[in-house]
Structures are given as structure tokens and as C-alpha cells.
A and B are shown apart, each in its own frame.
Chain A
Amino acid sequence: MPSVQELITKIEHEIEELPQGVLQPDTSFRQLPEWSSMHALIIIALAETEYNVTLSGNDLRSCNTVNDLHQIIESRKG
């Protein structure tokens, strides 16, 4: 089971402009000043390619923190 930390590392890798260490398990990522639709798309693509989990825009809207995101991905992996 991938840890939250692994998920954070992957997100940091994909979103190059995000300084390392900013994202924590309890970070409300949608509140980050740089948050944009492109970032949302990057996360949806990451879930698809790395975890084979399909996320919708609504799924993402229901997440506040990286922990929430991690939980959704874990629950969908089956």
C-alpha cells in the first residue's frame, strides 16, 4: 500500500513548480495560492497512470487534504 508520503513525492515530481516540503499530509492543497485546473488535471492523470484509479472533478472537490486524496485512491484500488 503506497503511503501518503509516496503520493506527495509523486505529486511534487509532476508539479515541478511546487517547492518541496510545502505539501504535507494535512495540507489543504486546493487552498495553495498556485492551485489551478491544470494541477487538478495532473492529479487526476497521476491517479489514473500510477494507481489505475479514475477520479472525477467531484472526487477532487470532495478532498480537502492530501490525506483525503490518499484515502479515496486507496478505497478505489480494490
Chain B
Amino acid sequence: MPSRNYIISAAIILLLAAGLIFLPEKNNKKELAPEELLQELQNDKRFVSVDQLAVLMIEEDPTLVLVDVRDPGSFVEYSLPGAINIPVENMLEEDYQQYFDRAELQIVFYSNSHILAEQAWMIKKRQEVNNIRILKGGLNQWTKDILLAEAPPETAPKEAFDRYNFLMGARKYFVGASGAFDPAAQGDIVETAPKKVPKIPVKVKKEKELEGCF
């Protein structure tokens, strides 16, 4: 009699085990649910404005990691000072995970407009990476605001002039002396070490501009 009970118990356990095999395994992955991702998509905190980024860069914020998500060709042609290049198609490679694992970093994705950067951000966000923001408007907005800033009309409110003055200051800083990196002498640049590889092409370009004094 007990042996039959054992058989029945064993049958239950086997049945449960068989059932577990067929359970959808998606639930096991740690991911942000679509609903949560939708929430994030409506949150303006995912953006960093041109002005905010300029401040971070001028202050040499050691936690800032600027990531150009465009293709390597575009990156070499022109990129923001100090940026590293992680093309969208390589976004999920293990090599880059070191950046996304470090919660103390402020990663900023940028592309020409911000749509490519935003899509890259969505993929990483789905993987529950929370230290990434997107440069709103991308390089187009950056160039328009900082390099091509125009003086506001005289009737504009004071804030408009304050912002204009800020942008002009930022412009001087970014196009200035070999560039932009001189004031770095004041800060500790130890923390920016991971950026060293990509910095090279950017610096080389700026040097060329300096050579204008020949």
C-alpha cells in the first residue's frame, strides 16, 4: 500500500518537473518590463540638454563619459572632445559593459540627431542599465546652440541674454586653445583614463587648427 503512494508521489513530482520544462523561460531574464520601459520613454530625465552637457564638460566632471554611438567613420570625422565611440551595432558587446556596470558614471549617448542615441539607450535601458542619458538634439543641436549661437533680439528677456553669454563662453572654451583641454590642468584627469584611446583623434585635429599660426 505505501509503495503505491510512493509511486503516486513520484508521478506528481515527475509531472511537475515535466511541466517546468515547458514553462516559458522568458521570466528568468532580468529585464525591464515593456510597461516600465514605456514609463522611462515618457520621462524627460532621460535627456541631458546641450547647456547641461556643456557645463559638465567645462567643469571636467570626472564621472562624465561621452559616448558617440555613430559609426566609426563619422566619429573620426568629427566628435565631441573626450568622447569615446561605441557604434550602436557594438552596443551589446562585452567589452563595453564595464562602463554600464559602473553606477557612478554619467554616460551620455549622442548621435547626429538624438533618435539613434535614444534607440541605443532603449536597448541598454531594457537591460536595466541606469547610468545613461541622451544628448537632446544630438550634434545638430550642439552645433546650432554652441557654434552657431546668435544674439537674441534686444527686446528678449534677461534670461535669453544670460544663456547667450553662457553659450558664447562655452563656444570660446570648445574652439579655444588646443582646445578645450587647457583648463584640465586644474583638475585631476586621472578618472578620465578610460577615455584615453578615443581622445587621440580629437586632439590631433585640434592641434592641426593650432598650426594655423605658422
* A is bound by B: no
Which residues of B does A touch, CB under 8 Å?
none
Which residues of A does B touch, CB under 8 Å?
none
